[in-house]
């Protein structure tokens, strides 16, 4: 398997799995990552918000698999936004750093396809 395919399948399937888990919370309770400030302005509860996030992640993962270049840049932006949300919440800095590292990998996939 070449590097491009490895990145494509990683950044395709991981968002799909994470998105599906927003409905089951098997991997973690995803709502714990929402800062109280964000939770207070939502018109619905945190678990509903995380299901919406899950749908977006599933779509992003599918996009990486079928329209890799566009999907890679969307996943890059999505991961950066998640990291910024975590940083501004003042919690889970370790997860924010990991999301930024994953964003760099997704961006590398985009660059491989662009060049």
Q: Domain coordinates of the chain in residue numbers?
A: 3-114
Whole-number average pLDDT of the chain? 95
- pLDDT of residue 31 exceeding 80: yes
DSSP code of 52? Answer: H
Query: What's the rounded Cα separation, in Å, for the pair 41 and 37?
Result: 7
| pTM, two decimal places | 0.92
* Cα R_g (the chain), whole angstroms: 14
Task: Report whether 74 contacts 60 (CB < 8 A).
Answer: yes
- Each residue of 45-70: pLDDT tens digit? 999 999 999 999 999 999 999 999 99
Q: Categorize the per-residue pLDDT at 109 as very low, low, confident or very high, splitting at 50, 70 and 90.
A: very high
Query: What's the rounded Cα separation, in Å, for the pair 93 and 42?
Result: 23
Q: Which of 56, 52, 55 is nearest to 42 (CA)?
A: 52
Task: Report whether 68 contacts 74 (CB < 8 A).
Answer: no
């Amino acid at each position: 398997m070449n590097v491009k395919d490895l990145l494509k399948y990683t950044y395709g399937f991981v968002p799909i799995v994470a998105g599906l888990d927003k409905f089951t919370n098997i991997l973690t309770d995803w709502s714990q990552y929402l800062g109280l400030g964000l939770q207070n302005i939502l018109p619905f509860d945190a678990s509903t918000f995380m299901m919406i996030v899950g749908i977006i992640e599933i779509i992003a993962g599918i996009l990486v698999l079928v329209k890799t270049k566009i999907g890679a840049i969307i996943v890059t932006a999505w991961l950066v936004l998640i990291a910024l949300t975590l940083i501004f919440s003042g919690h889970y800095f370790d997860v924010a750093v990991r999301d930024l590292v994953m964003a760099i990998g997704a961006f590398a996939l985009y660059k491989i396809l662009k060049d």
